Amino acid sequence: MKIHHLNCGSLCPCGGKLPKSIFPSELVCHCLMIESEQGLILIDSGLGKKDIENPKRLGLISSILGIKKDLKLSAIDQIKNLGFSKNDVRHIIPTHLDLDHAGGINDFPNAIVHTSKSEYSSALFPKSINEKTRYRQSNWNENTKWQIYDDKAKSYGEKWFGFNSVREVEGLPSDILLIPLPGHSKGHFGIAIQNNEGWLLHAGDSYFNTNEISLNRKPLLGLSIFQRLIHQSYKNAINNQQQLIRLKNSESKVKIICSHDLEKYKNSIKNSLIA
């Protein structure tokens, strides 16, 4: 399998006006495109083309996020530039269904969207203010093809480097795994991909900056405040960060990335070019 690193949305949030030691000036939407025998697989779809073209359709949160209007960043345009069509995307695996991770779902009508039962219920039938703020019903429609996974059955699934209830993705090779990482949202999970170089774990919004999973753990103050506001369960999110710290420092064959760290994204691009 060949893995491409894509930035499917540039965000310059309000906090970006603060010093970089407090809040990053720019956030990316780090997605993966995988070439496989089952067609193209997207890990997160970033912001949708319509959302980038007209951020105001997302409401007030578009002003808070500071979405850059650059259509070249949409997943669909980048995939076309790589020589593929939207119909080649057969599977989308969002780490969760927040608007900056699931915005591109409608751009790929042939794709099966894989998500957890908790995430599906929270996104399509939001009840709390947190859920009504973070999800956008315009990101999917009545024709969206959903593959739902029961994330409440804790006895189901295998273990993976200390993580429990890990499961394979329906219809895809066994070297792509769903890793439960609830906390940022109810049904948030990471996606682990195995290739010749080992494992790559896309941890989504389990953390926002690599400092958060370093041994000396020095999270940026502004990001910490933001996460306390946006995490569905801050306690669960921090517990998962601790697991990621242990994984990062004990397993050299597992590389971990998150969704919004600009420097980590740049390093991933550079390393993939070298490879």
Helix (H) or strand (E) holding 227: helix 221-230
Higher pLDDT, 272 or 233: 233
Give the rounded distance of the alpha carbon of 85 from its chain centre: 22
CATH code (residue 264): 3.60.15.10
For 221-249, write each residue's pLDDT tens digit: 888 888 999 999 999 999 999 999 999 98
For 44-62, write each residue's pLDDT tens digit: 999 999 999 999 888 888 8
- Residue listed under structure tokens 């850059």: 68
Mean pLDDT check: name the lowest of 16-25, 120-129, 141-150.
16-25
Phi-psi region of 44 (alpha: psi -120 to 50; beta: other; left: phi over 0): left
For 196, counting Cβ atoms within 10 Å of its Cβ (0-12 exposed, 13-18 middle, 19+ buried), the class is: exposed
DSSP 138: G
Domain interval for residue 244: 2-274
**Percentage of residues of the chain with pLDDT beyond 90:** 74
Q: How many domains does the chain have?
A: 1
The mean pLDDT value for 207-228 works out to 87
Do the Cβ atoms of 206 and 184 come closer than 8 Å? yes
Tokens of 253: 């064959």
Q: Could you give the CA distance from residue 116 to residue 190 in angstroms, rounded to a whole number?
A: 11
For 46-105, write each residue's pLDDT tens digit: 999 999 999 988 888 888 888 999 999 999 999 999 999 999 999 999 999 999 999 999
Nearest to 66 by CA among 100, 37, 102, 30: 100
